[in-house]
Chains A and B, each alone.
Chain A
Amino acid sequence: MTKIIKTVGVCGAGGTMGAGIALVAARAGFATVCFDRSGDTLEKAAKQSIGFLDKSVERGKLDATKRDGIVASMVRTTKLEGLADCDLVIEAVFEDLSIKRELLGQLDAVCAEDAIFASNTSTLSITEIASGSKRPERVVGMHFCLPAQLMKLIEMSPGILTSEEVFGAAWQWTETCGQTPVKTQDKPGFILNALLVPFNNDAIRAVEAGVAEPADIDRAIKVGLGYKMGPLELIDLIGLDTQVRLCEAFYPITLDPRAATPPLLRRMVAAGLLGRKSGRGFFAYEGNTMFGA
């Protein structure tokens, strides 16, 4: 029988992704438990979420009564036991296999036998994460896109041992939330990152090879292909250090040379050129304004 989901827990709800996922759940009418070890980050995330909902009201996308209902349906906790009544727990904690495996082991002890555990991992294997739980058949991949409260796409991946019933229930839940799920195998980077990380690296290598200036590379991609953002502008946005971390996650698993960290990227990170957040990456920024593009 398909699991009925009424209460949803989000682990790592103090983070940007976790907070966004919690908003998706609460907005769809689910009682939502926001869990994070840090009470401060939880409070901060809650304020940002309320700010987001307030803006939705201002823009006429949400009425005030509904906003109040959403806020009321979200509870915060720094204790894992607070997730005990959750039918579905979505983890969005740090992208580290041992941390995620350990968390699932702890959730085993707290949550009901028929609870569903979902991982928001973007790079790690669902099957490997699920091996941290004594009930791997109840673990499913559920990768949201940033910002989760705005992006509809969810990459859904069953692990080797995931039961069809669990996958179906999780899939149905994403649709109930108004999201658009797509099914992928449990492979590194699923679809999005498997295509994007090497593509971004190729753009960096083109700069390094002197093929063209960064601005010309981005303009070519935007005008020629109709992309909203060029690859180098995108790397500046996500952070050059983050791109290094993605490469370091991918390359050892895939051994795909395109996924290996480009030497120029390493040198730029060493020089403190991290992209928008440091004021300079492939382009220079002042505040939110971009120069050089």
Chain B
Amino acid sequence: MSKKILIVDDEPNIVMSLEYAFKKKDFQVFIARDGTEALEIARAELPHVILLDIMMPKMDGYETLKQIRKNEELKRTKVIFISAKSKPADVEKGLGLGADSYVTKPFSIKKVITDVEKMIA
């Protein structure tokens, strides 16, 4: 069974590249453009991994993660922040909220894929 991944970002061009790359690796890819949409899809699909941007319209990544962790079924879902916020304080905050990893933009798609695969192996 292929793994489910949810990509959350409001930048369509970035999402498009990620989607292509993960599909190539046999992931079942879901896409959300903001936090609220992400929560809905996550609850419905229970993905194995969520790639989560922080700065988004409506609900930011931090809040989204909090909501995700509140859900019993999503507690063990791996969440990776993908953000342009690169200050150590931002990284700390993200990990502190319970993210499994923090990747700063611009990132290398290959590295993200390796990380994700390691995480769910």
Do A and B assemble together? Answer: no
